């Protein structure tokens, strides 16, 4: 069996174990591994990443649901508005942003501020609001629609963006994490389908790398379950700082690559 299959499984397992406790599927950190280590071409790397989310998502979601942590109200509202955004994002990714150079700039533009924001909000946390507090319906709709579009372009499902925004408003991670993972899973299913439909209309490699995506997803399925199970025992501050630092470092790396 090709070494990339085993490497993909291991990467999905390790990344999901760390990221699932904070409501992130891990695709945002798996994408650079697929591009730079596993050799998945752009833009095929985006639907491959979405395929990872589809396969990996149920592991953490099943554990959160079993523990009673999955709150249907917030998850339902996020899913409703991220779905149309991810379809629009997929179309933009295929027809307007096919080049790897532009894609690296996009990666850097997303990861650098995301990492800085995670670190800042961890070191200077806002006052936590009572459980149940969330943005107004209109603000939540705009946020979810925007994140869905960005997630469709980037191939991350959007949870890595929704989570920090909602947590920064003071919502507890025990409520945010399951809801953002549910949105990530739903948008990834729709996004992967959209790329499959758009593939015949594109001259580039748009279809996902099925075997690699399934291997990464299988690792993520196990890692996501473990991460969700470990959430109550893990120090949230350390995890957020780790995620923020890693995101900023990856963003800086792709910014340098885009320049040279």
- Say if residues 57 and 213 touch (Cβ distance below 8 Å): no
* DSSP structure class, residue 203: S
In the chain, the N- to C-terminal Cα span, in Å, equals 35
**Number of other residues whose CB lies within 10 A of the CB of residue 197:** 14
Please state, in angstroms and rounded to a whole number, the distance separating the CA atoms of residues 134 and 129.
9
| pLDDT for the residue 33 | 87
Tokens of 104: 């690296």
Class of residue 73 by CB neighbours under 10 A (exposed 0-12, middle 13-18, buried 19+): exposed
| pLDDT for the residue 56 | 92
Average pLDDT for consecutive 10-residue bins of the chain (260 residues)?
A: 88 91 82 84 78 90 81 82 86 67 74 83 64 75 88 72 76 82 88 75 70 93 92 79 79 79
| pLDDT for the residue 10 | 95
Please state, in angstroms and rounded to a whole number, the distance separating the CA atoms of residues 232 and 132.
19
| pLDDT for the residue 129 | 47
| pLDDT for the residue 224 | 93
* Nearest by Cα to 221 from 52, 7, 33, 47: 52
| pLDDT for the residue 121 | 75
How far are the Cα atoms of 13, 72, 221, 224, 229 from residue 59, in angstroms, in the given order? 11, 17, 5, 5, 10
The radius of gyration computed from the CA coordinates of the chain, to the nearest angstrom, equals 17
Tokens of 34: 């697929």
**pTM, full prediction:** 0.77
Q: Which residues of 90-128 are buried (b: 16+ CB within 10 A; e: fewer)?
A: bbebbeebbeeeebbbbbbebbbebbebbbebbeeeeee
- Say if residues 216 and 12 touch (Cβ distance below 8 Å): yes
Residues in CB range of 158: below 8 A, 6 or more apart: 82, 85, 86, 144, 147, 148, 150, 151, 180, 183, 184, 187
| pLDDT for the residue 202 | 64
Please state, in angstroms and rounded to a whole number, the distance separating the CA atoms of residues 87 and 80.
13
| pLDDT for the residue 206 | 66
Domain ranges across the chain: 3-259
| pLDDT for the residue 120 | 84
């Amino acid at each position: 069996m090709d070494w990339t299959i085993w490497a993909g499984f291991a990467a999905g397992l390790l990344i999901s174990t760390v990221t699932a406790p904070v409501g992130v599927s891990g695709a945002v950190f798996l994408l650079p591994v697929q591009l730079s280590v596993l050799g998945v071409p752009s833009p095929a790397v985006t639907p491959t990443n979405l395929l990872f989310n589809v396969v990996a998502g149920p592991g953490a979601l099943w554990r959160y649901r079993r523990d009673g942590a999955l709150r249907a109200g917030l998850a339902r509202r996020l899913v409703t508005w991220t779905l149309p955004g991810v379809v629009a994002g997929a179309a933009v990714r295929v027809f307007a942003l096919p080049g790897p150079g532009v894609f690296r700039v996009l990666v850097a533009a997303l990861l650098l501020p995301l990492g800085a924001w995670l670190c800042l909000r961890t070191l200077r946390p806002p006052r936590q609001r009572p459980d149940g507090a969330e943005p107004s319906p209109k603000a939540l709709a705009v946020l979810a629609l925007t994140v869905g579009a960005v997630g469709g372009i980037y191939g991350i499902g959007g949870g890595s963006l929704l989570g920090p925004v909602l947590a920064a408003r003071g919502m507890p991670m025990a409520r945010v994490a399951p809801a953002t993972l549910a949105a990530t899973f739903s948008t990834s299913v729709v996004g992967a389908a959209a790329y499959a439909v758009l593939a015949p209309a594109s001259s580039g490699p748009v279809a996902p790398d099925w075997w690699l995506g399934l291997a990464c997803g299988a690792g993520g399925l196990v890692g996501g379950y473990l991460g969700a199970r470990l959430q109550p025992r893990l120090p949230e501050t350390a995890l957020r700082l780790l995620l923020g630092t890693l995101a900023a470092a990856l963003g800086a790396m792709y910014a340098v690559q885009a320049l040279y």
